[in-house]
């Protein structure tokens, strides 16, 4: 049975009215503001910091060796041992050196007797002045040779120059070592920790003694050590072409393990870079970039909206970006959620939870 036409028209109009009512209801319900995180724009040095990598060591670190060559009789310490100033650390077989000392002593004794006899004979006009002078010269030479032999005998043993710790043991007993060949490496207690880095020429010209720095060690993640530049070489290393720079690392508030050779990464802030300043913001605030330009969103706390701007990037320092042109003081940038924003959009700032 077919419904009458007036009834069909009435039903259609009712359905259209219901649909129109639902559409109007949906339009009236606006989506909630997008949740974002913001960060303040900070001020920082006008030039990028100098980044360098090097090895840490004790400031007073010595390679100890014998004055003369010979066979090692004993090494009385091992790596990691603590030592006291003057403590004997190693010695070589002294038979040959003792024989040389004895020979020099007897030669001196003979020269002294000859000189004494010559003086008596000179007084009796038996020898000439020239002969007496020759005897005096021979005695002086014999005395110098005796002093030299005793000096070598004293350095047939290695003693600790100061209280400290043995870092390396480079030889073993019964080995034949040449004069001056390192046998032990020791560090002095309380001498401080230094980081030796190599700088390129453009960085060496920017850095000066006294510049502040920050050092991180790969073996100690999450710990930062303040430092200062204390030495800069005036000539480049012929092997690497870099300039040696030594940083004094402050470990007063965070004890550094007694290991020499830790890899450290230094961030040096040249004093001259502090003469000017730039706006710094987290690198996460950048939405997109085109060569030196980048887009970011500024948050307006008064209206709760964001404004997209394009800024020229001067340089990147770690996790921060320095802008070529300064932003107004008190500016805030969107760091999370910026990729989904539109210019003028209202947002809701997520505050960090209190610890």
User: Is the predicted pLDDT of residue 14 greater than 80, yes or no?
Assistant: no
Count the neighbouring beta carbons within 10 Å of the beta carbon of residue 355.
3
- Looking at the predicted structure, is the pLDDT value of residue 126 above 90? no
pLDDT by residue (tens digit) across 259-293? 678 899 999 999 888 878 889 999 888 888 776 78
- Tens digits of per-residue pLDDT, 302-342? 899 999 888 898 888 878 888 988 888 889 999 988 888 88
Mean pLDDT of the chain: 85
Give per-residue pLDDT as tens, 153-208.
Answer: 988 899 999 888 898 899 999 999 999 999 999 988 777 789 999 999 999 999 99
Cα separation of 37 and 341, whole Å? 12
- Which residues, 6 or more positions from 48, have their beta carbon under 8 angstroms from its beta carbon? 273, 314, 315, 317, 322
The stretch 211-228 carries a mean pLDDT of 89
Pairwise CA distance, residues 312 & 90, whole Å = 64
Mind listing the domains of the chain with CATH numbers?
34-45+276-349 (2.40.420.20), 50-60+190-275 (2.40.30.170), 95-154 (1.10.287.470)
* CA angle at 287 for the pair 285 and 288, rounded to the nearest 5°: 135
DSSP 8-state code for residue 118? H
């Amino acid at each position: 049975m077919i419904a009458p036409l007036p009834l069909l028209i009435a039903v259609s109009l009712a359905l259209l009215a219901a649909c129109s009512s639902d559409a109007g209801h949906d339009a009236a319900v606006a989506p909630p503001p997008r949740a974002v995180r913001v960060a303040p724009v900070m001020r920082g040095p006008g030039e990028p910091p100098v980044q360098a990598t090097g090895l840490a060591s004790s400031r007073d670190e010595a390679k100890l060796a014998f004055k003369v060559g010979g066979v090692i009789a004993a090494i009385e310490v091992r790596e990691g041992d603590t030592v006291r100033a003057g403590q004997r650390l190693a010695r070589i077989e002294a038979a040959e050196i003792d024989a040389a000392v004895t020979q020099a002593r007897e030669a001196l004794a003979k020269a002294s007797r000859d000189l004494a006899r010559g003086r008596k004979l000179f007084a009796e006009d038996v020898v000439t002045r020239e002969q007496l002078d020759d005897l005096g010269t021979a005695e002086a030479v014999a005395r110098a040779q005796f002093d030299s032999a005793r000096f070598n005998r004293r350095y047939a043993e290695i003693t600790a120059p100061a209280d400290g710790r043995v870092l390396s043991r480079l030889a073993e007993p019964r080995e034949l070592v040449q004069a001056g060949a390192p046998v032990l490496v020791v560090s002095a207690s309380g001498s401080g920790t230094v980081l030796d880095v190599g700088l390129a020429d453009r960085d060496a010209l920017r850095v000066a003694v006294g510049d502040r720095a920050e050092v991180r060690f790969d073996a100690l993640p999450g710990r930062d050590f303040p430092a200062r530049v204390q030495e800069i070489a005036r000539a480049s290393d012929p092997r690497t072409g870099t300039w040696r720079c030594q940083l004094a690392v402050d470990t007063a508030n965070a004890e550094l393990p007694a290991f020499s050779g830790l890899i450290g990464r230094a961030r040096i802030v040249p004093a001259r870079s502090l003469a000017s300043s730039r706006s710094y913001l987290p690198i996460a605030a950048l939405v997109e970039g085109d060569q030196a330009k980048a887009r970011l969103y500024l948050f307006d706390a008064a209206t709760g909206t964001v404004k997209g701007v394009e800024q020229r990037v001067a340089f990147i320092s770690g996790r921060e970006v320095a802008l070529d042109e300064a932003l107004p003081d008190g500016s805030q940038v969107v760091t999370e959620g910026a990729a989904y924003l539109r210019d003028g959009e209202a947002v809701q700032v997520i505050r960090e939870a209190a610890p």
